[in-house]
Amino acid sequence: MLHAADLLGPSTIDWAIVAVFTVVYLGMFLGGLPRLKLDRSGVALLGAIAVIALAGLPVEDAARAIDLPTIVLLFAFMVVSAQMRLGGFYTAVTRRVASLPLSRSALLGALIGVAGLLSAVFSNDIVCLAMTPVVARLCLQRGLNPMPFLIGLACAANIGSAATLIGNPQNMLIGSVLQLPFAGYVQQALPPVLIGLVLLWAWLAYGPGAKSVSPRPRPLPGRDGVNNPGIEEPAFDAWQTAKGLLVAGALLLIFLFTDWPRDVAALVGAGVLLLSRRLQSARVMGLIDWPLLILFMGLFVVNHAFESTGLAGQAVGWLASQGVHLADPGPLLVVGVVLSNLVSNVPAVMLLLPHLAGSGEQAGVMLALVSTFAGNLLLVGSIANLIVADLARQQGIEIDWKRHALTGIPVTLATLAVVWIWMR
């Protein structure tokens, strides 16, 4: 049977794969491809199909390019996060904190702390999805400017998610590929995360614009603007919440104190949550971020094909001959920040990981912290930022890139400086 590789020749195939790789990562940068109704997941999927066809890559080999433990771990914690959301846990916690008789600065600190803590255990994206509408409405009801609270929520979710190897997708990938110990990672990552949350709070509470007047929400057609009926908030269910917390707590203990495979343990936990007499599994599955899973799998295949051309290895070898080693803290910080803001943090981590094999635990921790903290630099730097901006817009509150940059840029630079000092 003839494959495309037999017809075009090895060098031509290599350059064709490079072309596909370039188009795919252009799609990661743009969020899609011009004139096509494709998002990042669609671009990654079509890119995988293209390299399989061009290289004549057997489907079995393409499947082996996918890091299955990462996919399984990501899926399992999506189930846990969905359970907590459907149980009304995130909404109940946010309302409880917001109802406390606290000053503006104290309330801001409490919400940042809660968002950071929840994001370290559950998905930062889900935390933002559940907390944003509640925070926006409660701020407006109390006559507070919601802008610093909402931007603080997004930034805190990003920073807090870096504290563990399950807080966000890129950390799951790094922990799985580099086989980082869970407890060892937390021990190294927690101090810069806590310092980063304090710096975020200090900037929003006392920095420029801290006392600005609350903007009037812009009513949307057919909507209240302050009480948007289009956003579903599940009622608090004590049993479903307790069930989810029990499973999440058990998984954390397993990760911290045993050497059991994290993906297997998480999958068992997800199975326990799906065994329910009251919560339909279809509702839980409806909250799984299937496009993100497809994005991961597509990029695994595309990156594997690109690595097989040898060009990436040659480029890294050339840099090493010039004295630039990607595993060193300085180059890794710079490249990690640049790539994370060009193509998003998950694709950036996928590009860098093959060149960090055998570099030790410190390189993995540095990459996890840098790629996550860098997501706060620009509004488009992380999905959590975009979720908050989109849901705030539905409440009549406009968070544009300029407003976000006033907090995102200084906080990112400060937190990256903390990482640099801590990891040297």
Convert the pLDDT of each residue in 22-39 to its tens digit. 999 999 888 888 888 889
**Distance, CA of 39 to CA of 77 (rounded, Å):** 23
**Distance, CA of 338 to CA of 58 (rounded, Å):** 34
Of 41-55, 279-293, 312-326, where does mean pLDDT reach its minimum? Answer: 312-326
CA atoms within 13 A on the CB side of 210: 12
What pLDDT score was predicted for residue 142? 84
- Flag whether pLDDT at 227 surpasses 50: no
Q: How confident is the model at residue 151 (pLDDT cuts 50, 70, 90)?
A: very high
256's tokens: 């911290």
What pLDDT score was predicted for residue 402? 87
**Distance, CA of 167 to CA of 405 (rounded, Å):** 24
Q: How confident is the model at residue 342 (pLDDT cuts 50, 70, 90)?
A: confident
Mean predicted confidence (pLDDT) in 337-344: 88
pLDDT in tens, 233-260: 678 889 999 999 999 999 999 999 999 9
pLDDT in tens, 188-224: 999 999 999 999 999 999 888 666 555 555 554 444 4
What pLDDT score was predicted for residue 164? 96
- Flag whether pLDDT at 159 surpasses 80: yes
What pLDDT score was predicted for residue 195? 97
What pLDDT score was predicted for residue 141? 84
- Flag whether pLDDT at 140 surpasses 70: yes
What pLDDT score was predicted for residue 149? 94
Interhelix angle for 290-308 vs 169-178, to 10°?
40
Mean predicted confidence (pLDDT) in 46-74: 92
What pLDDT score was predicted for residue 100? 86
What pLDDT score was predicted for residue 175? 93
Average pLDDT, the chain: 87
What pLDDT score was predicted for residue 256? 93
What pLDDT score was predicted for residue 209? 65
Q: How confident is the model at residue 232 (pLDDT cuts 50, 70, 90)?
A: low
Region of residue 396 (phi > 0: left; psi between -120 and 50: alpha; otherwise: beta): left
pLDDT in tens, 87-137: 999 889 988 988 888 899 999 999 999 999 999 998 888 899 889 998 998
Mean predicted confidence (pLDDT) in 220-235: 51
